[in-house]
Amino acid sequence: MSRLHKMSIQGIRSFGNRDQDTQVITFFSPLTVIVGPNGSGKTTIIECLKYMATGIMPPGAKTGGAFVHDPKVAHDTEVRGQIRLLFQDVTGHNVQVQRTLVATQKKINISLRTLEGVIIREGINGEPIQITSKCVELDKEMVTAFGVSTAILENVIFCHQEESNCEGKQLKTKFDDIFAATKYMKALELIRKIRTEKLQTVKISRAEIGHLKTYRDMLVQKKRQYAEIDERRQTSKVNVESIQLKLEPID
């Protein structure tokens, strides 16, 4: 079973972007309780966990850059936000992940870009193996490491209570994603399609078998007729030889 160990946050939301502002959160087993007043960063911790596990940022973060510490507050034109996570994957090995974001203050708004991510795994002999997001798709690697789907990570494990207040079509979509209903329906449709194709193949094969049986019966009949004709030929040959012996030569 996968398990969280530690996470460091720097330059995200209200967490400052200086080295001394870096906050390290240690997760305990079987339960970690996060307590604090409004605006202290409780939601930010959940958002960071979700972002690290799935690559999904909070709503509006990509357009407004609100996920990264505000450059105006930092009195700078560019702020780098960095999150590091140490956890145990489903195989029992430690995994370290680092994701980095950069928010740049423009004339009108804030632009946000993602830098290269890094994942460090334990090798067979215990040596660290570092892989960057250039080599692998980091989000898929994280889903595999945690051993659960993106929908469960997003909507169940790292879900803030405010995000759970949905209804109607949105709620149905979330449940469909959690229980993989769409994938199930697609798989069921594919199975039906394959079954139809196989039944058609079986139908054609049965027709071919019927023709082959007819040809086989015809062949058996021809062989029987050939045997009868050959037997009569042999008998006629013997009769001819017998008659030839009885014939007297003409002087």
- Quick: pLDDT tens for 122-157: 777 778 888 887 766 888 888 888 888 777 777 677
C-alpha to C-alpha distance for 15 and 17, rounded to whole angstroms: 7
Is the pLDDT reported for residue 94 higher than 60?
Answer: yes
| 64: three-class secondary structure by DSSP | helix
Q: How confident is the model at residue 167 (pLDDT cuts 50, 70, 90)?
A: low
- Residue found under tokens 């930010």: 44
Does pLDDT of 158 surpass 80? Answer: no
Query: Poorest-confidence range of 114-118, 186-190, 228-232, 241-245?
Result: 241-245
Beta bridge partners of 78: 104
Question: What 3-state class would DSSP assign to 184?
Answer: helix
Q: What is the mean pLDDT of residues 93-97?
A: 91
Q: Looking up tokens 């007043």, which residue turns up? A: 37
User: Residue range 35-64: average pLDDT?
Assistant: 82
Please give the pLDDT value at position 220.
93
Tokens of 188: 């069921």
Q: What is the pTM of this model?
A: 0.65
Question: What pLDDT does residue 60 have?
Answer: 66
Q: pLDDT higher for 78 or 249?
A: 78
What's residue 142's pLDDT? 87
Least confident interval from 167-171, 233-237, 246-250: 167-171
Domains of the chain (ranges; CATH) run: 3-147 (3.40.50.300)
For residue 116, report the phi and psi dihedrals to the nearest 5 degrees.
Answer: -65, 130
pLDDT score for 204:
93
Of 38 and 10, the one with more pLDDT: 10
How does pLDDT run across 178-229, given as a tens digit for each residue? 666 677 788 888 999 999 999 999 999 999 999 999 999 999 999 999 999 9
CB 81 within 8 A of CB 68: yes
